[in-house]
A and B are shown apart, each in its own frame.
Chain A
Amino acid sequence: GAVVSQHPSWVICKSGTSVKIECRSLDFQATTMFWYRQFPKQSLMLMATSNEGSKATYEQGVEKDKFLINHASLTLSTLTVTSAHPEDSSFYICSARPPGVNSPLHFGNGTRLTVT
């Protein structure tokens, strides 16, 4: 079945540094990928839609300069958390939808970011 791989699984960084998270579709091409953030004991919050070959679409309230998204190829999207602060600590998850009308979303395993 469709697999979405996310790397790294967890990362600890110091305040002020930047962290890059990768999301790959392993057995299908994805022109669109989605990035979510999940706070403890809460549901997923859609942050942005990553579009291959064009700019990402950010949800209201998400700082585009803070969360840089690059969709460089049909199988890779990256999320870079710039100048990270402790309040950026969270669980970040990506997803992608295989080709086909209304095919279901498949999710990566998530990245737990801790900013110290």
Chain B
Amino acid sequence: GEDVEQSLFLSVREGDSSVINCTYTDSSSTYLYWYKQEPGAGLQLLTYIFSNMDMKQDQRLTVLLNKKDKHLSLRIADTQTGDSAIYFCAETPYSSASKIIFGSGTRLSIRP
């Protein structure tokens, strides 16, 4: 079946890098996404990567995709207090382009 898993919590010191990890089971995934959800708000698309890419960088964000291990990571450089949020990993399976499967979300907290 199709499943996306990620750890529930991550605590990082301000200024350090945050690395949020995600694993998925569908080897035919087309797009893999990272969304950010701040308290009481909807989901904000941070970045996404097509499954034929290995890496994508956008300012402080770096996405790494290891297709062999079905592992996706999001690295946030120079983590700031405004980065505190829940980060959701998601995938669109090739079998259904209209369907998106979310992980449970990783709550990132920043300590001074």
- Interface residue ranges, A against B (CB under 8 Å): 6, 32, 34, 42-44, 46, 49, 93, 95, 97, 101-102, 104-110, 112
Contact = CB atoms under 8 A, between A and B. Distances in A.
Nearest to A107: B43
B41 A110 contact: yes
B103 to A, nearest CB: 7
A110 B100 contact: no
A59 to B, nearest CB: 10
A49 B31 CA distance: 19
B35 A107 contact: yes
Contacts of B50: 102
A44 B33 contact: no
A105 B104 contact: no
B1 to A, nearest CB: 14
Nearest to A105: B100
Contacts of B100: 34, 46, 105
26 contacts: A6-B42, A34-B100, A42-B104, A42-B105, A43-B103, A43-B104, A44-B43, A44-B88, A46-B99, A49-B98, A93-B42, A95-B43, A97-B98, A102-B50, A102-B92, A102-B97, A104-B31, A104-B33, A104-B48, A105-B33, A105-B45, A107-B35, A107-B42, A108-B42, A109-B41, A109-B42
Interface of B: 30-31, 33, 35, 40-45, 48, 50, 88, 92, 97-100, 102-105
Given A42-B104, A110-B40, 14 more contacts: A6-B42, A43-B102, A43-B104, A44-B43, A44-B88, A44-B102, A95-B43, A102-B30, A102-B31, A104-B31, A105-B45, A107-B43, A110-B41, A110-B42
B40 A43 contact: no
B44 A107 contact: yes
B59 to A, nearest CB: 15
A39 B52 CA distance: 34
Contacts of B41: 109-110
A97 B97 CA distance: 10
B45 A43 contact: no
Contact of A112 (B40, B88, B97, B104): B40
